Each structure stands twice: as C-alpha cells, then as structure tokens.
A and B are shown apart, each in its own frame.
Chain A
C-alpha cells in the first residue's frame, strides 16, 4: 500500500474510530484499526464487536493494500503530528510506514484478513434526525442511563418511533429524561411498514456517545437504519453500526403525570446554587433535601438537615401557580436535572410529595414550557 492524504482528514478519521477500540484479551486484532484502500478512497475501520465504525476519506492512491495497526499507538502518534498538510502511508512487510512533515514512524501491524467484517446496511436508511438537535439532546439523556448491569435494558437508551417524531428516553428508575425529536422519513411507505413491526428499540449508551462524538459543527443529518437487531448510522462520511439491547423497556410514559397541580417558574442558577448548598448538609449518599412551595410569600424554600453536620435553608422567589407543595429529593439527581436545562428559567411541576416531579425549560414572556425535553425525578417518600 502506498497512499497520501491530508493530515486533517486522517486525524479526523483516527479520532472518529479510535475510541470504540476496546481492550480485548481474547482477540488481539480488535485492538487494531484497519486501514485499507477501497475504490480510490482510504477506508478506516474499528470495532469492538458491539459497535463498528468506519469511514472513507479521499486520498491519492499509488498502490492498493491493507493493514491493521494498534489503535492507541496510532492515535497517540497522530495526535502529536507536527503541522503539515499531508500524511503518507506505506506498508512494507506488515509494517506501516507513516510520515507527516518532519515526523516518521514505523508501526508493526497484523494481517488484515483476520479483522472482523463490519456489517453494512442491507436495505436503505429509514429516517434521519437533525444532527445539531441530537448533539444537544444526547448528553442530557446519557446522564440518566443506568449503570446497573442486572437490568441490561436500562443500560441503553430507549428509542420509540412514532408517526413524525422519535422519543428518546433514558432512566435508571430514579429519574428519567426524554427528548422528542422530529424525524425526516427517507421513504414514507417503508417507514410505515417498519413501524408496524417495530416501534421501540434499545440502543446501548456507548453507541450514542459515539454518535455524539462524530457529529461535527457542520453536520446536517444523522441517517438511521434498523435491521436484524442492529442499528446503522450515517453521519457525514462516518458509518456506525451497533447491536441493539434485547429486552423490553419499561412503559415510562405511563408514569409521567398528564396534569400538574403546581407550576413553579424559577431562575435556573438560583435553584442550582440552592440545591448544591443543600446537598452539602446531607448525609453523603443517602441525603435528601426538602423543596417547599409557599404560595403566600411566593417563594420556594430549599432546606436540608443532617444530624451530625448541621442544617441550612435557601429561599428563592418564584412565580407560582397552584397550591402549596412539599417534597423530598435526592440532591444529586436534582443537580443532574437542573444541569440539563439550557434556558435561564425553568418550570418545576409537582402534584404531591409522592408523585413524580418534572423539570422543563421555559421561554418567552408567558413562561411557555418547551415540551421537547422532560426531566422526571421521583421524590423520596418518607
């Protein structure tokens, strides 16, 4: 193989693929990145057998060939390239000779024919999602994914397809985040047909992290296809394939109250500060803080008390509609929830001290709720 390509493209390609490579004891080749020439392009692939990523970049190909080299080594080298416009790659005897500007390296590789074949979509893509919206939504959702492997279905994100939108949700059964994103169908009838068979899938958390990483500032669309327990993404020139998690995601929509008795509109930074302070005055993990809504004085009181530490109280003025409320929350989950809010003000919606509370962003003079994102937090019952 003898190839020359731009340093920028090559760097981006390595950055996009390198992270899926895992520590694999059984099959050492999985620690490698596959570099191959493919129809006048340079194709770079990596996989851990759960997720596979590959992309093609333009290159000047003088001689065809393939090689696999250790991903970490290559990416460490590439990250420290001196400023130069091009990279040249040559394979001689299972060794990759790589040169950019004043730096040169020879990396020992493994035979490419043992590298796993990354599945490609057999049919066509089903729909696409707006990339920039997803770039915002993914980190909010990932914070809520459960790490408890005894319930594998909660270690992923639930993607529910409905007529014109997708609802993506994540929960660890204490709190839940849901984003609703409008989708663009590639083909109306194919999409409707698909919807009849499958409408809910569970995508591993890592897959969405990977998608998040690959989305660039100029990315327009994320094209998505679902086939045979696998999900396929195309983001610009990068293709990602991942397994889906088997199992049944909880019917979370049923626990979201349809109506709320009390709506409290607050300044985000005030509450966040109050909750963080209250969190200090709790017993480490099992702490609880009290939210009391006082209609007469139009304030929200955030209080906490720990026997051996002390106690505190913060009073925040608020815009309140509805009756008084009082409920206990876990400060950590409340902080996570508040941090997902990107508007200056937010609405806290409550029904009682045992019913889920909801955080939503608000905008405009009338404090209209933005319903595309919902953060639900269960109060602590005493």
Chain B
C-alpha cells in the first residue's frame, strides 16, 4: 500500500466512527506526507485541524492505520500547503515558504516506492483469492444494452459509493444474461479504487455449505464474525436459499448486521424476491427494501455487440452477416451465444475454412434446429404452462372461464404463436377446438399486457425458459 492508499483506507474506517460533519470538517485536505520506521506524518491544512487530530482523534487515526500497517507507532501532524504538495516543482518550494520551513525535508507525498508497490500487488492477489472475485469480469468489458442499462447503472453507482446509494441492491434476470458479470464487476471496481476494502463474493449455495460446515465444527460464531467485518458482500443466485430455513435465518442476521453499519450488500437471483417461493417474509421484505433492477434478454443489437466483442477477444474475424445470423438465431441467453461462437471458432479451425455466412449456417444448424424449433411442440407448451400455473391440463383445454385459467390459457396460446409460429386456427384446435379469433385475441392481449405488466412479462419469460430447459 502506498501512502495515498493507506490514508484512503484509514479514512474509510475513521468515517464510520465519527459523524459526517466532523469527518468533513477535520479530515478535508489531509494526507500522509511521509511514513518511516513506524512514524507517520500527516499533512493537515491548518492549525485547528492539527490540534484536533492530535488531541481528539489520535486514537481513531492510530487504530485505523494500525489495521492496515501494524508497525505504526507514532503519528504526527504537520501543517502543509495543499497547492504545494502534489505538483510542486523545486523552484516553487524553495522560494517563499510562509509555513515556517518545517516541511522541506518531507518527501513527495505521492511518491510510490517500488517496494510498496510489490506489497500492494501481493496483498491484492491474496485478497482476490479469498474474496472469489474473478478479474475477467469488469465494467469495461460489460456490454450495455437496453435490457441491462438500469442494472448496470445501479451496480456502477454502488461500486462508486459503497453502502450509500442502493442498499441492498437486488439484481435479477434469467440464466446467462450477465448477473454474475455485473456482480463481479462491482467487486473488481471497488478493489481497484481501494484495494483495502474487504469484499466477499459467494454463491448462496456455498454460503449454505460453509454454514453447515461451521455448524458441524461448532464454529458458527467465527463464521458470523467473519462475515460482519465485510465492506461489500455479494451473494449470487440467492434463490437457492429457498427452502433452507436455518441458512435463511443465519443469512438474515448477517444481512441485518451489515445493513445496520451501512455495509453494502448486493444480491442476485433469477427472479424477483416476490417470486422466490419459500423465502422467509422478513428476508423478502428486506430484499425489496433497497434497489431492485432486472436484466432482461438482450435485443438483437446488443447480441450483435456482444458477439463482436467476444470475437475480438478471441482474435477471430466474423463478418457482419455471420454475426447477424448468429444473433438472430440464438436469442435467449448470452452463454448460448458464446457457445455458438465457440462452436464456430472450433469448426473453422478444424476444417481450416473461413467463417462465411454459409459455413456459419451449417455449423450452427444443429444447435438452432435442435434447440428450439424442433424440440418443442404444442403439447410441451401446454404441459409446461399447466405445471407453471399448477392448473390441470384438462382445465386448460376445457371451456372454463375462471380468470386464472383463462389467463394461463392465453399465455399458452401466446407462447405457441411466438415460439412455434403456429397458425391461429391450429392453436384454437389445440385448446379443444376453439375459434381462431379466440387465439388471435389471446395473442394480442398478452402482447399488450407484456408491455404493461412486469408480472406477465415475468411469467412468459420463465415459462419459455422452462420450456427449453427440459
């Protein structure tokens, strides 16, 4: 850690222990001027700050610095000129020194000695190992589209201002749409700004396993205290907590501890808190208390942008047509998109051919036809819808006009139309020989509702996903 980082880290701690007004009054424009043999010289802008830091806040400063550098033994304050320190040149420092000349011997506060650089690097790597943050995922290489704008903006805001803007931040979206990427980006961004921050990225599954282990080894208290010292806790795929009651209770306590001391919590799930069955109410309401942002499916342009970036990462050239073809045919999920690209890269290398549109079509014919168009039939859709809404197939097909049933039926019709491109009379006949206008009405109604209602959109998305995951 260099002096600047050390002071930033220490200020972060001090800020928590004193009031905001005091913090901004006394710590504004302070910096570490030098650090040698456990003796730290802090530069302060005026005599009042010097008196105050030396007499009232010395224990806070001492404690905070000791947290990061255990060998610190002595702290002194010196008044220094802000405009002199960072960018001073020799000439400016030598003439006219109204501060009484005591500072001249002090080294450049921003000097970054190679030694400290190595130390910082080492701790950084070690930290990354502990906090499960993967360096590959950053905000820079996250592609922004209409579908993920909000989520990305929320994540970025959180990374710049831990615990202050949106806490907790809840990100949800389907499989392979970039939740994990965003969560990891927060971690990386925070570490880049301040490597001293304590960050933990963990999937809810691993969280549960760790908890179970700690129960078995009777170290539950250690487990809890380890978590309450964290600055940023990222829990991925929180929906897996559903049904695990003891884990939920423990998580609830850790959540509360962190939340109360303004530590940032970021959670992801594949569906909104409301839709996670068997999630304790108190957890659900807490999740809903912060900011909820969703990641939708990427539109064509975004998919194309993603493909271009990924291809560039692999140093693989794909022409516009081929990219468009892939993006048009692989719609649901970014991971699949990447899979398709990998497949093409491999096929090209294997056959030693250029990825022309025709070659790409050939190479992907298997996935495209196998995935959606062929594998799913009208009956699958009816089955899935019936399972999803927990309504017997018979009722779906029969003439019942109860609201829940007709809603489910309309959704099923809509999905048949969009996914299978079935004709309206065809859809009608699947549902006990209904008129084609009924099917048309259902399609139009659901199309409209999807725009208006988050719930309808959610239902359709989840059913579609279920459909293809079988």
Contacts and interface: CB of A to CB of B under 8 A. Distances in A.
B417 interface: no
Interface string B7-38: 00000000000000110110000000000000
B98 A119 contact: no
A50 B47 CA distance: 9
Contact of A198 (B22, B24, B47, B101): B101
Contact of B51 (A27, A118, A197, A200): A118
Interface stretch (A213-221, A225-233, A342-350): A225-233
Contacts of A246: 81-84, 98-99
Contacts of A37: none
B48 A116 contact: yes
A197 B97 contact: yes
Contact of B98 (A27, A49, A200): A200
A350 to B, nearest CB: 32
B47 A229 contact: yes
A202 interface: yes
Interface string A228-268: 11100000000001011011100000000000000000000
B46 interface: yes
A197 B48 contact: no
B114 interface: no
A119 B56 CA distance: 13
Q: State which size class the interface on B falls in.
A: 20 to 34
A27 B19 CA distance: 10
Interface string B52-80: 10011000000000000000000000111
Contacts of B81: 229, 246
B56 A117 contact: yes
Contact of A228 (B22, B56, B100): B100
A248 B99 CA distance: 12
B319 interface: no
A373 B51 CA distance: 38
Given A26-B24, A27-B22, A246-B81, A197 B50 contact: no
A197 B97 CA distance: 8
Nearest to A113: B56
Contacts of A119: 47-48, 50-51
A243 B100 contact: no
A353 B93 CA distance: 39
Contacts of B25: 26-27, 49
B98 A229 contact: yes
Interface string A20-46: 000000111000000000000000000
Nearest to A197: B101
A229 B102 CA distance: 10
A181 to B, nearest CB: 19
A201 interface: yes
Contact of A244 (B48, B51, B56, B98): B98
Contact of A52 (B22, B48, B55, B79): B48
B95 A243 contact: no
A54 B416 CA distance: 85
- The 7 tightest CB contacts between A and B, nearest first, are A119-B47, A117-B51, A229-B99, A246-B81, A197-B101, A230-B47, A228-B79
Interface of B: 21-22, 24-25, 46-48, 50-52, 55-56, 78-84, 95-102
Given A117-B48, A200-B98, A246-B99, 6 more contacts: A49-B25, A229-B79, A229-B81, A243-B46, A246-B83, A246-B84
